[in-house]
Structure 1
Amino acid sequence: MKTIGLIGGMSWESSALYYQIINRGIQEKLGGVHSAKSLLYSVDFNEIAILQKEEKWGELGELMIETAQKLEKSGADFIVLCTNTMHKLSDEIEKNVSIPLLHIVDTAAEEIVKHNIKKIGLLGTSFTMEQGFFKDRLLNKHYIQTIIPNEKQRSDIHQIIYNELVKGIISNDSRNIFLEIISDLIDKGAEGIILGCTEIELLVTNEYTEAKLFKTAEIHAKKAIEFSLE
């Protein structure tokens, strides 16, 4: 079994979900009292969130590289970055470690392709929805087109993520906002919806919508299980 190097804390709510999925999955596959071999480096999300807001991606890159290198030196065989937004810095991380980084966009795309979907709705932080690092990789590497919410909807999503979900606050009113946005994206031609922020899947599940949901954190964590057992 390979040792998984998890970069977490962005937020710890979603990191806990990763840890739970990975360890339960290993136990299901191997039986008995097996659990994953893993190293978790959990950052202070307050520091990260401030730098994100100030668009200081250079400093964020240095933090992510330093963290990944610490995991590599501690014995990790590959890196799992437990956040969508910080995959903006995935190229920088990969250039500065000698172990693989399991990319969240590629793992999500693999599942989307299985369903023969060519046009997908994307929900996430404003960084993920508006910048190119997620959408461009989907299109250029996997030939999947992306539809994003309108400006007001993107603002609502971003505020709910940072003011509620990262703090573990689950609100029915906020869920209804997400469900209305999902319905709007489907009306605009989306064949499924990427929950492209690891906290969103704490709020939106198929209990509340018939839309095909691609939960990036869950997909990513399950792929980490497979990779660790190869």
Structure 2
Amino acid sequence: MRKLGIIGGMSWISTRAYYERINRFVQKRAAPMASPPLLIESLDYGPIAAAKNEGDWNTIAAALVESGRRLEAAGAEGLLIAANAMHKVYDRLTEGVSIPVLHIADCVGKEMQEADCTSAALLGTRFVMAESFYRQRLVAHGVDLLPPDPADVEMVDGIIYKELMLGRVTRDAERALKTIVTLKEKEGAKAIVLASTELELVFDTDANILPVFDSTDIHCRAAADWILG
């Protein structure tokens, strides 16, 4: 098996999910008692969050590049970022290391293309929902995305950063997401792209009126595929 480096800590909830799921996916396919060789660097999210709030993505990119280089020096043969929004600095990371980096949106787009899903609504942080760095990767795989609604963007972003990443899980958040999904179906969406690991805390992927493409699950399966070669 190839050794994978994981840049985590953004948030620790997401990193925990990545570790568990990659292990489960590999365990299903590898020899009994096998577990994947993983190197994980869990960054302090405090300085990264402060830089994000100031729009200082150069500082964030530098932190991820340094992390990627440390993991590469420690023996990682490939990398992934265990967070959707941090893929905003993906290109800077790939320029700073000499090993491949699995892009989460490319993995999601490929799976949607294979499922012949051509219309969807994207749910995640403000950066993921409204900016082009994530959306363009899905569009490149033939997916037509509903335009972001500013009210939805603010609501979902607030649920993630002001509640879920602080350990608050509420029924109000669950109801708000169900309402958004219902409206997206009426607007013509044929699926939901769940582009935030934290949203799974208040989003039942198996009990929705639309098919759900869970970015974390998809990214972890792609990681297991890569590890197993």
TM band (smaller chain) = over 0.9
Deviating 4+ runs (over 4 angstroms): none
Structure 1 residues 60-83: Cα deviation after superposition (integer angstroms, max 9, x where no partner): 111111111111001001001001
Cα RMSD after superposing both structures: 1.2
Structure 1 residues 155-189: Cα deviation after superposition (integer angstroms, max 9, x where no partner): 11111101121133221210110111111111111
Q: Report the TM-score when normalising by structure 1.
A: 0.96
Structure 1 residues 3-26: Cα deviation after superposition (integer angstroms, max 9, x where no partner): 110010110001100000011122
Match of 1:44 in 2: 44
Q: Which moved more, 1:147-156 or 1:105-114?
A: 147-156
| Residue identity opposite 1:220 in structure 2 | H
| Residue identity opposite 1:127 in structure 2 | F
Question: SS in structure 1 opposite 2:197?
Answer: coil
Question: SS in structure 1 opposite 2:39?
Answer: strand
Task: Measure, in 1, the Cα distance between the counterparts of 2:53 and 2:119.
Answer: 29
Task: Measure, in 2, the Cα distance between the counterparts of 1:148 and 1:123.
Answer: 11
Q: Name the CA shift for 1:134/1:100 in 2 (closer, same or farther; >3 Å).
A: same
Match of 1:167 in 2: 166
Contact 1:26–1:36 at 8 Å: present in 2 too?
A: yes
Task: Measure, in 1, the Cα distance between the counterparts of 2:148 and 2:97.
Answer: 35
Match of 1:23 in 2: 23
Match of 1:220 in 2: 219
Match of 2:149 in 1: 150
Contact 1:195–1:214 at 8 Å: present in 2 too?
A: yes
Contact 1:84–1:196 at 8 Å: present in 2 too?
A: yes
Contact 2:64–2:93 at 8 Å: present in 1 too?
A: yes
Q: Report the TM-score when normalising by structure 2.
A: 0.96
Task: Measure, in 1, the Cα distance between the counterparts of 2:31 and 2:180.
Answer: 41
Match of 1:55 in 2: 55
Question: SS in structure 2 opposite 1:199?
Answer: helix
- Residue 210 of structure 1: CA displacement? 2.5
Task: Measure, in 1, the Cα distance between the counterparts of 2:99 and 2:155.
Answer: 37
Q: Which moved more, 1:30-39 or 1:91-100?
A: 30-39
- Residue 149 of structure 1: CA displacement? 4.2
Contact 2:108–2:138 at 8 Å: present in 1 too?
A: no
- Residue 105 of structure 1: CA displacement? 0.5
| Residue identity opposite 1:229 in structure 2 | L
What are structure 2's unaligned runs of at least 5 residues?
none
Match of 1:8 in 2: 8
Contact 1:13–1:167 at 8 Å: present in 2 too?
A: no
Match of 1:70 in 2: 70
Structure 1 residues 176-217: Cα deviation after superposition (integer angstroms, max 9, x where no partner): 101111111111111100011121123212343121111101
Match of 2:103 in 1: 103
| Residue identity opposite 1:86 in structure 2 | M
| Residue identity opposite 2:124 in structure 1 | G
Contact 2:109–2:137 at 8 Å: present in 1 too?
A: no
Match of 1:79 in 2: 79
Contact 2:182–2:209 at 8 Å: present in 1 too?
A: no
What are structure 1's unaligned runs of at least 5 residues?
none
